[in-house]
């Protein structure tokens, strides 16, 4: 079958839904036909019932808001510090020489290796979790901000000098817009990492409420429908984050759309 | 009409450090350019003609001798000197109007005056209707017109052009040469054009300065005693053009590899702004 024909069967806009729908169908059939009787695979209907229960009782709202709250704080702290740090690292040779080597060493350490230390400093509560999430947000923002600032074309800086720009004008009118796409990539990565890290922190520092704790509860009580429901929610949040960021990028960096890197 | 500047270069020497050794780039350059004069500088690659322009605009520092604009020694960049580079160097995140407006940011003009000046210059380079277009929507020739407007918007005393049409196709180039001539006559300012296109140099220049490389020196200055508009195929035009070309032919070793200067230049420029913050 040619490509033109397949697009008649499934409109392009819906093509991404084909695979999930097929899997859902297979899942439903496996349970309904009695092909799988394992307690590890509950029916889609059971997960749906659990979703209705979690939504109705308000348990989902509590868990999800606790997770998003942690994520937001961790992201704000980590990316805020990361942005300032990246600007300094990118714009000051002196600062780069002073702290660059330490930074590049620290970033090689797996985030999870910090958990014992974080728990000793902050305990098992939200402090440690937010610190962990902030660290996950920090590194991608620093690296991409640094990269963005370092790769501002020399040609643009010369134009700024010819136009007698002050250092502030140079920063706000040349360096910031020129580095913006790269900084945005860093923030995008950082948001994705913080969501992953939020779940990691909740799972590894199992105290309090959160979507991670919902998963733990499901596992401990062997409620597979709860575990699967948690996984779906996590996936949906990730999907929404990505969609929002994509739309935001399109709006803020419209000029980049058809600008092939000429320098 | 803008004030036109007198540029006097006296005994100019410039050298770069390459691996601890001094490499002379320009040697004993002396040149006087009268107010409102159009001077073309031609030479093969590596003859230091671009470096000379970068010294005059103030992007390059550390030289011996004098570069005087109306009697004042040039130090750093200044709004009384404008430049058009070979690449248009427009900021892709700004539209035509705002790119031109960059030149006026520190002009001290009120917002209303700035808008008026920008509009005048868009008309001057013939880009009415493209005020809100972005650089990626413009052709190479149009982009270079915007760059010319950006350089002129401050009404500088002197305009420097560093191979501005080098990357354009032959038709566009010929057309923009005409346009540049019209702008020069209208604005009455001093212009210095660096090019490797001898025909362009003769078409536009009141005089043509021929440079030779390693180290960069002025070989000869050839006057162009032709009235405008100049006919490229006329006998008088080709005679002058041949005279300029002969200067190249006499100098057989001109086309050697270019010395590795750009790299050091680049590093110096980057660290200069980085310390500024």
The string of DSSP letters for B80-110 reads TEEEE-SS----TTS-HHHHHHGGGTTS---
Task: Provide the pLDDT for residue A73.
Answer: 94
| B270 interaction partners in chain A (CB closer than 8 Å) | 154, 157
- Residues B84, B162 contacting (CB under 8 angstroms): yes
Structure-model confidence comparison of residues B269 and B10, the more confident one? B10
Give the range among A7-11, A179-183, B4-8, B111-115 with minimum mean pLDDT.
A7-11
> Confidence band (pLDDT; 50, 70, 90) for A1?
very low
**Shortest alpha-carbon distance between residue B236 and chain A (Å):** 38
- The three-state DSSP-derived secondary structure of A14-38 is HHHHHHHHHHHHHHHHHHHCCCCCC
Task: Provide the pLDDT for residue A4.
Answer: 53
pLDDT digit string, tens, across residues B9-19: 888 888 888 88
How many beta carbons lie within 10 A of that of residue B227, not counting itself? 6
Structure-model confidence comparison of residues B158 and A255, the more confident one? B158
Q: Distance between CA atoms of B140 and B131, rounded to whole angstroms?
A: 16
**With an 8 Å Cβ cutoff, are A258 and B136 in contact?**
yes
Two tokens, residue A158: 């010369």
How many folded domains does chain A comprise? 1
Q: Give strand pairing partners of B194.
A: B41, B162
3-state SS class at A198:
helix
pLDDT at A81 over 90: yes
How many beta carbons lie within 10 A of that of residue A70, not counting itself? 24
DSSP state of B216: B
Question: Which chain B residue has the Cα nearest residue A152?
Answer: B270
pLDDT at A141 over 90: yes
For A5-30, what is the mean pLDDT? 80
For B244-258, what is the mean pLDDT? 61
| B81 interaction partners in chain A (CB closer than 8 Å) | 162
Burial A36-47 (b: 16+ CB within 10 A, else e): eeeeeebebebb
Task: Provide the pLDDT for residue A256.
Answer: 67
Task: Provide the pLDDT for residue B271.
Answer: 46
Domain of A201, CATH number, reads 1.10.3720.10
Least CB-CB distance to A177: which of B79, B93, B277?
Answer: B93
Question: Which of the residues A156, A159, A178 would you substitute to probe the B interface, choosing the one with the greatest number of B C-beta atoms within 10 Å?
Answer: A159
For B227-241, what is the mean pLDDT? 84
pLDDT at A5 over 70: no
| A74-to-A80, A197, B63 alpha-carbon distances in Å | 10, 9, 53
Show the domain range for A57: 45-256
Peptide bond into A6 cis (omega under 30): no
**Residues of chain B whose C-beta is under 8 A from some C-beta in A?**
57-59, 77-79, 81-83, 85, 87, 89, 91-94, 102-103, 105-106, 134-137, 151, 266, 269-271, 273-277
Does residue A36 lie in a domain region? no
Give the range among A3-7, A105-109, A112-116, A137-141 with minimum mean pLDDT.
A3-7
**With an 8 Å Cβ cutoff, are A177 and B91 in contact?**
yes
Give the range among A40-54, B89-103, B261-275 with minimum mean pLDDT.
B261-275
A:B CB pairs within 8 Å? 83
**With an 8 Å Cβ cutoff, are B87 and A255 in contact?**
no
Q: Distance between CA atoms of A35 and B12, rounded to whole angstroms?
A: 91
Task: Provide the pLDDT for residue A156.
Answer: 92
Does residue A121 lie in a domain region? yes
> Confidence band (pLDDT; 50, 70, 90) for B193?
very high
| B271 interaction partners in chain A (CB closer than 8 Å) | 93
pLDDT at A86 over 80: yes
Q: Distance between CA atoms of A118 and A173, rounded to whole angstroms?
A: 40
How many beta carbons lie within 10 A of that of residue B150, not counting itself? 29
Q: Distance between CA atoms of A80 and A57, rounded to whole angstroms?
A: 36
Task: Provide the pLDDT for residue B275.
Answer: 44
> Confidence band (pLDDT; 50, 70, 90) for B262?
very low
How many beta carbons lie within 10 A of that of residue A49, not counting itself? 14
pLDDT at A3 over 60: no
Burial B248-257 (b: 16+ CB within 10 A, else e): beeeeebeee
For B90-99, what is the mean pLDDT? 91
pLDDT digit string, tens, across residues B129-149: 898 888 888 888 889 889 988
Least CB-CB distance to B102: which of A154, A163, A260?
Answer: A163
Does residue A19 lie in a domain region? no
For B142-169, what is the mean pLDDT? 88
Question: Which chain B residue has the Cα nearest residue A163?
Answer: B103
Does residue A7 lie in a domain region? no
CA A207 to chain centre: 22
Task: Provide the pLDDT for residue B3.
Answer: 63
Mean pLDDT of chain B: 82
**Shortest alpha-carbon distance between residue B134 and chain A (Å):** 7
3-state SS class at A144:
helix
| A258 interaction partners in chain B (CB closer than 8 Å) | 136-137
pLDDT digit string, tens, across residues A206-223: 778 888 888 888 888 888
| B277 interaction partners in chain A (CB closer than 8 Å) | 91-92, 167, 170-171
> Confidence band (pLDDT; 50, 70, 90) for A133?
very high
Does residue A25 lie in a domain region? no
**With an 8 Å Cβ cutoff, are B269 and A154 in contact?**
yes
Does residue A74 lie in a domain region? yes
DSSP count for chain B of H helices, then E strands = 8, 10
For B55-59, what is the mean pLDDT? 89
Question: Which chain A residue has the Cα nearest residue B154?
Answer: A163
Task: Provide the pLDDT for residue B255.
Answer: 46
- Residues B172, B4 contacting (CB under 8 angstroms): no
How many beta carbons lie within 10 A of that of residue A182, not counting itself? 21
Does residue A109 lie in a domain region? yes
Least CB-CB distance to A162: which of B77, B135, B137?
Answer: B77
| A92 interaction partners in chain B (CB closer than 8 Å) | 274-275, 277
Does residue A31 lie in a domain region? no
Least CB-CB distance to B103: which of A156, A163, A263?
Answer: A163
Q: Which domains does chain B have, with CATH numbers?
A: 35-61+74-80+158-276 (3.40.50.300), 91-155 (no CATH)
Give the range among A34-43, B74-83, B105-114, B248-257 with minimum mean pLDDT.
B248-257
Task: Provide the pLDDT for residue B199.
Answer: 87
Mean pLDDT of chain A: 85
Q: Report ipTM for this prediction.
A: 0.82
> Full-prediction pTM beyond 0.95?
no
Task: Provide the pLDDT for residue B41.
Answer: 92
**With an 8 Å Cβ cutoff, are B106 and A170 in contact?**
no
Give the range among A171-180, B72-81, B97-106, B261-270 with minimum mean pLDDT.
B261-270
> Confidence band (pLDDT; 50, 70, 90) for A143?
very high
pLDDT at A138 over 90: yes
């Amino acid at each position: 079958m040619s490509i033109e024909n397949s697009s008649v069967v499934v409109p392009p806009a819906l093509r991404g839904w084909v695979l999930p729908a097929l899997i859902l169908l297979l899942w439903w059939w496996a349970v309904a036909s009695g092909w799988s009787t394992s307690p590890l695979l509950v029916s889609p209907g059971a997960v749906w019932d659990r979703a209705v229960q979690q939504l109705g009782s308000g348990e989902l709202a509590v868990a999800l808001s606790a997770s998003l709250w942690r994520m937001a704080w961790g992201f704000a702290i980590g990316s805020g510090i990361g942005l300032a740090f990246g600007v300094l690292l990118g714009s000051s040779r002196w600062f780069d020489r002073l702290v660059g080597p330490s930074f590049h060493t620290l970033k090689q350490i797996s985030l999870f290796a910090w958990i014992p230390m974080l728990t000793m400093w902050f305990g098992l509560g939200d402090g440690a979790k937010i610190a962990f999430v902030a660290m996950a947000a920090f590194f991608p923002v620093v690296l991409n901000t640094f990269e963005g600032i370092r790769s501002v074309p020399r040609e643009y800086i010369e134009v700024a000098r010819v136009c007698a720009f002050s250092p502030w004008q140079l920063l706000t009118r040349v360096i910031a817009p020129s580095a913006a796409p790269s900084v945005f990539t860093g923030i995008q990565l950082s948001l994705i990492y913080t969501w992953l890290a939020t779940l990691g922190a909740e799972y590894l520092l199992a105290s309090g409420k959160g979507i991670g704790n919902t998963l733990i509860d499901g596992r401990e009580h062997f409620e597979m429908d709860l575990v699967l429901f948690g996984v779906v929610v996590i996936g949906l949040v990730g999907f929404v984050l990505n969609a929002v960021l994509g739309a935001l990028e399109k709006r803020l960096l419209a000029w980049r759309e058809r600008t092939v890197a000429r320098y | 009409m803008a004030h036109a500047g007198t540029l006097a270069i006296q005994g100019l020497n410039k050298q770069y450090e390459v691996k601890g050794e001094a490499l002379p780039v320009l040697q004993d350059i002396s040149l006087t350019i009268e107010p409102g004069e159009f001077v073309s500088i031609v030479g093969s690659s590596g003859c230091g003609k671009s470096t000379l322009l970068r010294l005059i605009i103030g992007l390059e520092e550390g030289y011996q001798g004098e570069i005087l604009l109306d009697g004042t020694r040039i130090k750093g960049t200044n709004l009384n000197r404008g430049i058009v580079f070979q690449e248009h160097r427009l900021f892709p995140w700004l539209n035509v109007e705002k790119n031109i407006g960059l030149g006026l940011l520190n002009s001290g003009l009120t917002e209303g005056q700035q808008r008026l000046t920008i509009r005048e210059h868009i008309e001057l380079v013939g880009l009415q209707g493209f005020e809100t277009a972005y650089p990626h929507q413009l052709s190479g020739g149009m982009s270079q017109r915007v760059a010319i407007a950006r350089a002129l918007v401050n009404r500088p005393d002197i305009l420097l052009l560093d191979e501005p049409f080098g990357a354009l196709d032959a038709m566009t180039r010929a057309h923009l040469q005409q346009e540049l001539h019209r702008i020069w006559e209208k604005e009455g300012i001093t212009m210095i054009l660096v090019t490797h296109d001898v025909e362009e140099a003769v078409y536009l220049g009141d005089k043509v300065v021929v440079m030779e490389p390693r180290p960069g020196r002025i070989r000869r200055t050839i006057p162009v005693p032709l009235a405008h508009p100049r006919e490229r195929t006329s006998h008088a035009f080709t005679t002058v053009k041949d005279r300029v070309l002969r200067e190249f032919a006499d100098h057989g070793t001109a086309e050697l590899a270019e010395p590795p200067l750009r790299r050091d230049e680049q590093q110096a420029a980057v660290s200069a702004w980085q310390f500024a913050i």
